[in-house]
Amino acid sequence: MFDKGNKIHVVGAGLAGSECAWQLAERGFSVVLYEMRPKVSTPAHKTGDMAELVCSNSFGSMTDYSAPGQLKWEAENQGSLILKAGKEAAVPAGMALGVDRERFSVSVTTAIRNHPNIEVVEEPVESLEDLPRPAVVATGPLTHEPLAKSLQQHFGGDFLYFFDAIAPIIDADSINDEIAFKANRYDKEEAHYYNCPLEKEHYFNLIEAIKGARKIESKDFEETPYFEGCMPIEAMIERGEQTPRFGPMSPKGIWNQREDGKGYYAIVQLRQENKEATAYNMVGFQTKMAYGEQKEIFRMIPGLEEAEFLKLGSIHRNLYLKSPSVLNRDLSSKKDPWLFFAGQITGVEGYFESTCIGLMVARFLADKLNGNDINWAPRQSALGSLHNAITEEKEHFQPTNINWSLFPVPEDFKKTGRKNKREKRDLQIQIAQNALSAW
């Protein structure tokens, strides 16, 4: 039996690492949490706070009929620190959970530092050999280069990279609200998003400008794939000039704001970035364009003619593991059963998906240390479905976010077309919540 006075070592105080450390500490274990920032920075982080959000400020849908909403319901049921802090730092974002990044990170940092069972060490871990066991590596996609090399030596060839991108942030006072208007899709709740309307000519002029812009990308990694959840706008356009119109620039659900009765060809949405509503980020406009060209091109968007950019878009290299090949079901290394992995490095997309892997690893590790059989998250639940997605053997493994395709189809449910889609979802939610409650 593991003595709870002994230490569990968690590397990385991002979303997964902070959640994992918190969950273990709440179960009475002593945790050493390593965080290299602010001593060592990354290409994307700007502060030394824990759980800093770098790609966007949205945790995704909160709706009770969506897979992301179900995942949050389950995490709240399990006492998630990250979800609690997210709700406390929430900013208006329609049906999504958008947060004030600074308030959110400060809240998580304060909770972690004040927990009597957590010791924070602000030093980088440069080798797995230097890390006492049991240990959880939750360093995320921006793992410090020396540790990344150590991981690559440990796992060999099943170690993968992808590119991730960040969207620009705009000063709210520079948005022309005589053109950009407030509205949520389908008029759900109070209007939170700015919508910049584009006619067909505007749209194709913008697309052509983006196509012709100078791009910034490391030549060393030209064959590296993009992260689907944060794909640059340029990469979307490469799939077809109309692709953004059926993605982030879709006018669907944005009711006509004009007197002539015509709809818009496309829209660019801006989501509130902080509680004071002084900053907005460009939804779906992650980019690898050179800084000067970003300003010139994005000011072509109606309503952003005089936009002031508080932060410009950028791109950076991330990494993840081919988890089904290199990790056990409990997310420990197949080469070392007391070396666990959590978060985005295990092959999940999204802030909250990463958080939930940290939550589950804490439970798996606690069971193992207590000498108990591991109590796996129910397969029917969102947590169990996400866990299954990164541990189930498959020929082509790619990072995934939570979605209904990961859930098992309810027994005896007959496919009868689109009209029964909501009925199927309701049944899946009921089954998931019953299973999770029993867990």
What is the DSSP code (8-state) at residue 393? -
pLDDT of residue 221: 43
pLDDT of residue 190: 75
pLDDT of residue 377: 95
Span 36-57, mean pLDDT?
75
pLDDT tens digit string along 153-200? 998 866 666 666 778 888 888 999 999 999 888 877 678 889 999 999
What is the DSSP code (8-state) at residue 348? B
pLDDT tens digit string along 193-238? 899 999 999 999 999 999 998 887 654 444 555 656 667 888 889 8
* Residue of 347, 366, 341 whose CA lies nearest to 406: 347
For residue 40 the two structure tokens come to: 């060592």
Q: Which band of pLDDT confidence, cut at 50, 70 and 90, is reported for residue 82?
A: very high
Q: Which amino acid is at 307?
A: A
Q: Catalogue the long-range contacts made by 214-217 (C-beta closer than 8 Å, 24 or more residues apart).
A: 214/289, 214/290, 214/293, 215/288, 215/289, 215/290, 216/288, 216/289, 216/290, 216/314, 216/315, 217/163, 217/288, 217/315
Span 97-107, mean pLDDT?
93
Would you say residue 4 has pLDDT above 80?
A: no
Would you say residue 350 has pLDDT above 80?
A: yes
The C-alpha atoms of residue 147 and residue 130 are separated, in whole angstroms, by 10
Would you say residue 129 has pLDDT above 60?
A: yes
* Residue of 105, 100, 93, 101 whose CA lies nearest to 68: 93
CA-only gyration radius of the chain, Å: 22
pLDDT tens digit string along 358-408? 999 999 999 999 999 999 999 999 999 999 999 998 766 777 888 888 888
Whole-prediction pTM: 0.72
pLDDT of residue 415: 53
Q: Which band of pLDDT confidence, cut at 50, 70 and 90, is reported for residue 20?
A: very high
**Domains along the chain with CATH numbers:** 7-158+322-424 (3.50.50.60), 166-317 (2.40.30.260)
pLDDT of residue 419: 54
Q: What is the mean pLDDT of the chain?
A: 86
pLDDT of residue 320: 81
